[in-house]
Amino acid sequence: MPSLLKLSVVFVLIAGMAWACAASQKQTSMTTRQSVLKSIYPALRSVTHFFGVNSKVETPDRPVEPLSSVYDIPFELIDGASSSLAAYKGKKIIVVNTASDCGYTGQYEELQQLYKESRGEWVIVGFPANDFKQQEKGSNEEIASFCKKNYGVEFPMASKVQVVKGDQQHPLFKWLSDPVLNGWNKQAPSWNFSKYVIDEEGRLIGYFDPGVSPLAAEFKHALITTKP
């Protein structure tokens, strides 16, 4: 495809996303906003996959033993209860930073489908964050209601946290993005719906950009790969 045509397609998509996001912010109905965002996602997924945008995948050559345990890091669930990833030891764990007003919000539906397919082999934990263009302004109660009402989310959701690097970065995301702690990876979330996969032994085995669908073959491969 000629370069000019590629640029034109990207421009049209970005313009459409900007319009949809602006329209969503004007709506007071959660259902209307959810409908707009869901209409964006299929096109966004297709175009980003085609152009390789937001599609970075980072994996080690082999599982690397972390220098500190991810299971020791506490966090708060969205209902206020205390928890940690130790509750899911022995399963693969998908950690994903989420947002309600993003072009990728439609991934909630894919994540829920993946969760239902797990048959107990893996778990998903969502961490709402307002770090990217303030696309998660809601309270924990509003986020929980949005996820359940619009996407039928059943997997665990945490209280809202900061995921980007800085003084306020949640310790779990510091572990995920600091090679001194996890053993190899330095990639922090690049946008909403960045995904990390931790294996049954508590080792980080993959980072996936928001443009990589949870249902993509390359993502599912990380979930079905057996531990050495």
Question: Out of 36, 99, 102, 153, which one is annotated catalytic?
Answer: 102
How is residue 182 annotated by DSSP?
A: H
CA angle 7, 14, 46 (to 5 degrees): 80
Token pair of 48 as six digits: 């980003």
In degrees and rounded to multiples of 5, residue 104 shows phi and psi of: -95, 5
Nearest to 150 by CA among 11, 35, 228: 35
Burial class (CB in 10 A: 0-12, 13-18, 19+), 104: buried
Q: Is 102 a catalytic residue?
A: yes
Q: Where are the beta strands (DSSP E) in 80-174?
A: 82-84, 92-98, 122-128
Amino acid residing at 153: V
Q: What is residue 75's three-state secondary structure? A: strand
> For 86, which DSSP code?
G
Active site residues: 102
